[in-house]
Amino acid sequence: MKAKEAAAKIDGPARQRRKRRSREDVVQRIREAARQLFAERGYAAATTREIARLADVSETLLFRYYGDKATLFSEVVTEPFQKLMDDFVQRNPDPKFTGTREEDTRRFTRQVFELFEANEEMFRALMAGPRVSGGNDGASGFAGLSAFFHESVDQVSALYEAAGMEPSFDLRIGVRLGFGMIASSVLMRDSLFPDWTPDRNAMIHALEELVARSLAGPAD
């Protein structure tokens, strides 16, 4: 009798741990764990074993749902990022839509800042992911931004063309550097400001000034 009771005590917690989870719960656990480790350690250093352990699922189950690490990275980081950028562009199809060019550029700058701020972990994971040209695993990184960059360049180019002017710098470079400056203000804040923490609104205002002066287009 005592043996049966002892076995029951041992078996009870084990059965609780093995309680069957829904597919949705398992997928959510894997996605959250993967994005966290990709952001913290980078694509190469984050292993599927560690991801499975953090998600509290078996590595076998992880492979059953995602196949390999490259597919996992694509589904939990690259594809959600692409959807995020597509949605952003659809919500902000044209920075010339209202107000002056400078006002709209400032508004656009704030929206990009808030986009990074609200999705910081995803962007960190993407930045820590494999390079598009050098990855052997088939995962892709910031390639999803290409369409966004091209559209932004076209929009700023149209401003100069309408004014009959030529920009004083390569807009293809300027747009990407402007975007990078906004991104670094969120993702590299601790490195850029190791000795003090700038006020959020003051940082956004500085970004608005810098980007507006370079990318708003020719003066009216």
pLDDT tens, residue by residue, 104-125: 778 888 888 988 898 888 888 8
Asked whether residue 220 is assigned to any structural domain, the reply reads no
Asked whether residue 51 is assigned to any structural domain, the reply reads yes
Asked whether residue 114 is assigned to any structural domain, the reply reads yes
Name the DSSP class of 96.
Answer: T
Q: Cβ(153)–Cβ(175) under 8 Å? A: yes
Asked whether residue 116 is assigned to any structural domain, the reply reads yes
Q: Which domain holds residue 67?
A: 2-215
Number of domains in the chain: 1
User: What's the whole-number mean pLDDT along residues 200-207?
Assistant: 94
Asked whether residue 123 is assigned to any structural domain, the reply reads yes
* Residue 61 vs residue 142, higher pLDDT: 61
Of 8-12, 16-20, 191-195, the one with minimum mean pLDDT is: 8-12
The pTM assigned to this predicted structure is 0.67
**Structure token digits, residue 98:** 């209202």
CATH code at position 107: 1.10.357.10
Question: CA 111, 113, 114, 115 torsion: positive or negative?
Answer: positive
C-alpha distance across the termini of the chain, in Å: 91
For 33, the enclosing helix (H) or strand (E) is helix 23-41
Residue with tokens 């741990």: 17
